[in-house]
Amino acid sequence: MSSTTLVCVCVGLYRDALTRGQRYEILEEDSEKAQIKVLGDNNRTRWFPRSYFNDSSVNVPVIDSWKFDDYIRDDGENSLEHIEFTVTFSTGEQRWGWICTKAGLADYIDRNWNGPVLLIENQIVVQNFSHSTVQEALYELDRQDQLIRATQPLKQKVTTSFTSD
């Protein structure tokens, strides 16, 4: 191992002991079991899966802020809306995605299922559209290293013209 510290990339079930993006000193390593022992945020020493960590030189982007990009007419559990949101990470990168409720997802599937498959990219299903519920969902996805995968890079619209030869 090239370093005595590693950076946490996923907290798994240990949200009281680990913080994504935080660096931890390795106290011991068990390569056979793929585990490392560190002093957690709760001041307890314990073994964690090695897969929850990466080399300390890796810059782990963590959620810095987020915002709704659409006006929400119905923030309840039965809302059929699909709301766009933008997240900003500690690196300055911005990404976007969609959120909907379980009822909104079911409605969307019912209205759009007309073939052998239905792909819904960048879709996160939340209980309701209250600010606290959405924030809890986004931060939980971030702690589990899933938020980047569930969103797309926010890019300026590019107009491309094609010509045929």
pLDDT tens-digit readout, 49-101: 999 999 999 899 999 999 999 999 999 999 899 999 999 999 999 999 999 99
- What does the pLDDT read at residue 160? 45
Give CA angle at 101 (64, 14), nearest 5°: 50
Task: Report, as an integer, the average pLDDT of 110-116.
Answer: 88
Q: Are 101 and 79 contacting, i.e. CB atoms less than 8 angstroms apart?
A: yes
Q: How confident is the model at residue 112 (pLDDT cuts 50, 70, 90)?
A: confident
Which domains, and CATH codes, for the chain? 5-55 (2.30.30), 63-153 (no CATH)
